[in-house]
Amino acid sequence: MEKIERFLERYKIYLGVKDVKVVVRSYKTRTAFTNLSSPPTIYLNEYLIDDEEVLEYLILRDMIHIMLLHLRSLGSWAIGQAQERP
């Protein structure tokens, strides 16, 4: 779990993601996936978290999904603000 926290904190800073929850479970066919609800949750396969490179990749990949969702919502907000101005 320490490795997960280390990668999570590093990429929170790099990507500007503030709130993220991580859940580790056993899955037969999934590597990892993200639930983008509030707060965003990254689900990791417990069988894959022993390899640091794989773990780092999965956390980075899913945090990029979260960052892109945040950027899309900011873009929608900015467009709405621009349309409201006379």
pLDDT digits (tens, 9 = 90+) for 22-75: 999 999 999 999 998 889 999 999 999 999 999 999 999 999 999 888 877 766
Q: Is residue 68 part of a domain?
A: no
Per the rule left: phi > 0, alpha: psi between -120 and 50, beta: everything else, 16 is: left
Range of the domain at 42: 2-62
| Number of domains making up the chain | 1
Sign of CA dihedral 8, 49, 53, 68: negative
Strands (E), the chain: 21-25, 32-35, 41-45
Q: Is residue 6 part of a domain?
A: yes
Indicate the pTM of the whole model.
0.81
- For residue 28, the surrounding DSSP H or E stretch is none
Q: Is residue 70 part of a domain?
A: no
Which domain CATH number covers 29?
Answer: 3.30.2010.10
Q: Is residue 73 part of a domain?
A: no
